[in-house]
Each structure stands twice: as C-alpha cells, then as structure tokens.
A and B are shown apart, each in its own frame.
Chain A
Amino acid sequence: MELRLAGLRHAYGDIEVLRDIDLALPTGRVVCIVGPSGCGKSTLLRLIGGLERPDRGEVVQTGEPPPGCLNPLTYIFQDFALLPWRSVEGNVRLVLEDHGLGRAETAGIVDDVLARTRLSEFRTALPRQLSGGMKQRVAIARALAVSPAFLLMDEPLSALDAQTRELLLDDLVDLWVRERFSAVYITHNLEEAVRLGHRVVVLSRRPGTVREILEIDLPLDARAAHASDLEAHRTRLWQLIRDEAQAVDLELVDG
C-alpha cells in the first residue's frame, strides 16, 4: 500500500498553513519531514492520517493494506497519548478491543508486541510509573499491535531528554531493520532526520510548501558508521532551513 498527497492545501481561518503539497509516500521507507517551527508539519501529518480534512486536494491510498492489518494509518504522538488509568498491557489492549478478536488472539498480540519492544516485565505498570522513553515504547508497542501499513510519527522523540532520545532512536533503527515498516516521521531535529530518513522532505516556512526532497542512500543500520556522510547531509539540510528558521524567529506570534 502506498500513499500519495495531491495538491494539499490547508488553512486555519485566514492563516494558510500548507500550500500545494504533492508528495509520494512509498512503502517500506521512512520519509522524514523537516521544516522550521510553525510550518505546518504536524497539520500535514494529521491530514495524511485523516484526523483533519484538507481544504483542497486529497490523500490517495493506492493498493490494499497487508492482510491482518487492523488500522492502516497509525499514529505515534509526541506526548505518547497513553491512558493514565490503564496499565501498559491495558493501553495496548485498548486498540484491539473494538476488533472482536477473541481473548486468546488479543492476548497473543499483546504478548508479542510487548516482547518486541522489551516491555514484557512492565506489563502491569501504570504510565505514571514509567519514564518518558518507556512511555514512548509503550506507544510504539500499541502502534505495532494493529499491524499498521504506515506509521505516522509526530515528533516522537521531542518530549524526551537527549540521552533517552539517542537510545530510542537506536531502537527505532533496529525496529525498522527488523520490520521494514513504512513511515512518515515529522521532526524538527535534523540529526533524527538523517539517521532515520530514507528520504527527507524539507518544508518552507508558513505557508508550508515542499522546498526540497533529499534522498539518503545509506542503509539505516550502516549509518552510525558513516558519521561524516550524515554530517554532510545534516549540514545541507541546515543550510536549507537556516534562513527560514531565522525569519520565523523574528515573526510576531499573532502577526
């Protein structure tokens, strides 16, 4: 299954946040979307997953989601969005309950995703007992439970401290190497973009348009060893964004 964005435009009231976005999202690849703050990255992600309706244009799905997929377009949120009154296990089960899977099958899926995210021994813990990194791993486990065709990740590491972010970034790379999932990954962190993205889409400042698309050919699991290549990509991205970021910084918030 692939996704294609065709002529997306979106505005909040008089403020146009996205303009003429055309983009193909291939299967089995991670597409990172970067841009200065307020360029409509998160709005774009909400449009892709159908949480918001674009003013113009459409998001088109081609092909069918793989068999066994319960929720083709699945989000991972910046603030984790875990139910605080449910345990780790309960949070994963939440997204399976409406599918009429039966007790054994549900338990099987829960066991499986908790094992894959190394959370099995924390299954009865409540979110408040978990660190930020662990919470995000629970959210990842929950997303994996519905076997998504696309993971839509909205700055999943931005609420975490630098060390946790580094650890979880490695986890995500490992996960991709094992599962080869398709993903759209929104971030303002260029380091994350060059570590995780097969393709990096640079948005301009508001109203966001696609400014440039950068392909990074290095395989994900080899990237840690090619720090200098990554640095070159990162520098290139920063040159693209720098002036815009500076201009955004000087804008008045409600101007």
Chain B
Amino acid sequence: MAEPEGAGRPVAFRGGGFSPRPQGVVGPLVFIAVIALWEAGCRAGVIPPLVLPAPSEALAALLYLVETGLLWKHLGASLQRLLVGWTLGTLLGVAVGFSIGLFSLARAGLAPVVAAIFPIPKIALLPLFVIWFGIGEGSKVATILFGTFFPTVVATYGGVDNVDRGLIRMGQSFGLSWLSIVRKIILPGALPAILPGFRISAAIAIVLLVAAEMIGAEFGIGAYILLAGSLMATDELLAGVAVLSVMGLTVNWLIARAERFLLRWRT
C-alpha cells in the first residue's frame, strides 16, 4: 500500500517503564484500608474477638497503658536495654572490624571466629547467657550486645576493605601519618558500609530484646507481650506489637537521618 508523499506514521513509543516513581498517598491509603476492613470484619462478627481483636480494642488497650503510666515503665526498661546493648555491641564491633580490616594478624586470627559465630541465632545462646550473667539485666544486655556485635564486625571490615586504595596511596604519597590515614581516609571511606550495618544490627537488637525479655523480666515490652499472650489478652498483645513497630520505625528513621547527614558528600 503506497502512502502519499510527505505523509507517514509517527514512530511508536517503546521506552519508559521500569522506574518506580514515588506515589505519596498510596502507602497511607493501603494502611487505612486494611485497618478499616479489619475493624469492619470484627464489628460484623466475621472475625471472632479471641482470634483477632478489633483495632479499636487494641487501641483502647494502648490508651489504658498510657493512662496508667505503665507504657513508660515498659518502654523505659526496654529502651535502656536496647541502648546499652546496642551501643556496646556496636562500639566493640566497629573496633574489632577495624582491627580485622587493618591488621593481618587480627584478620587471620579473628575473621574465622567471627565467620563461625555470626550465623548462630543468638536466641539459642540465651539460656547460656542467663547462666553466665544472671537472670537480671546482664543476660538481656549480653544477648543484644552479642547479637549486634557480629553483623557490625562484618559490615565494618567489609567497608574498610572497600576503601579506595588510590586514596590511601594518595595519603601515603603526601606523607600522612598512619593515624591520619586511618582517621581521615579509611574511617570516612568505610562509613557508607558501616551505617547500613547499623540498620541491620538495630533490627536484630529489637528481635533479641523481645526474646530476652520473655525470660525473667518484670518490665519491658517483651514481658508485657508475653504476659498478655499467656492471659489470652490478644488486644494487649497487639498493643505491645504496635509499640514494637513504632520503636523499629523510629530507630530506622534515626539511622536514616544519621546517614543523610554523615554521607551527604555522596551523589
């Protein structure tokens, strides 16, 4: 079929796609829809209250916690364990990670040990920690410390290994001292790997916190959830879970802020 001179079809567009765009309202909408559906199901009697209490009941349980002031007691106990355990585990992890990254002897001696202990679920060691550090705060902090230590070590020495050797050679060529090279070139250069490690270790810390608080704790979100569960108070259980979720989100947000600030030099 001959087309007239000058006429023709436009070339069909075949590009585009494969690049997700942010859709601000969709996330909250899904949230609201799921909760509304759930609430409606409970009110209509489709979902028995013992199996899954209505969101409004969980909210009531949460408000009761706030009113009685028990929330702050539980949250305070949990946050303290989390903070002490995570901070110590992270500090030790960064220190050991740096020595593995910098010294051949430390690498040869410690890297295999870390590789062997890293994959053990630390919850399995919890009874052992209770024997070693007592049923009180010691075993709880130790569990979190242990759990956050290993991923931090692995992330840190991976980061040190990945620092641009060209920058280190530049430092040497200008006669920088060993300490200056470590402090001004290797530490900031490893930060892009260390900070995501913090994110992972914080998530692990929250998991271990709840597990540790299920043994011999009077206060703490984990203890509260355990108690609610054994009394079949599923509304309180859900309130506790919601608190955990908010805790996780907050920690994530804080680390994201820190990343944005410390890594603002990246493209």
Contacts and interface: CB of A to CB of B under 8 A. Distances in A.
A85 interface: yes
A71 B170 contact: no
Contacts of A231: none
B15 interface: no
Interface string B157-191: 00000000011011011111100100011001000
A59 to B, nearest CB: 14
A94 B177 CA distance: 11
B169 A98 contact: no
A94 B188 CA distance: 13
Given A98-B180, A128-B266, A74 B174 contact: yes
Contacts of A95: 174, 176
B267 interface: yes
A60 interface: no
B265 interface: yes
Interface in B236-267: 265-267
B185 A71 contact: no
Interface in B137-171: 166-167, 169-170
A84 B184 contact: no
Contacts of A126: 265
B175 A98 contact: yes
B263 to A, nearest CB: 8
- By size class, the interface of chain B is 10 to 19
Contacts of A79: 166
A77 B166 contact: yes
A85 B267 CA distance: 11
Given A71-B175, A98-B180, A81 B169 contact: yes
B94 to A, nearest CB: 18
Contact of B170 (A73, A75, A128): A75
Interface in A56-98: 70-71, 73-75, 77, 79, 81, 83-86, 94-95, 97-98
Contacts of B167: 81, 83
Contact of A51 (B173, B176, B180, B267): B173
A83 B184 contact: yes
Nearest to A52: B169
Contacts of B185: 83
Interface string A160-176: 00000000000000000
Best-buried of A74, A83, A128 by chain B (most CB within 10 Å): A83
A97 B255 CA distance: 31
Contacts of B184: 83, 94, 97
A141 interface: no
Interface of B: 166-167, 169-170, 172-177, 180, 184-185, 188, 265-267
Interface of A: 49, 51, 70-71, 73-75, 77, 79, 81, 83-86, 94-95, 97-98, 126-128, 142, 146
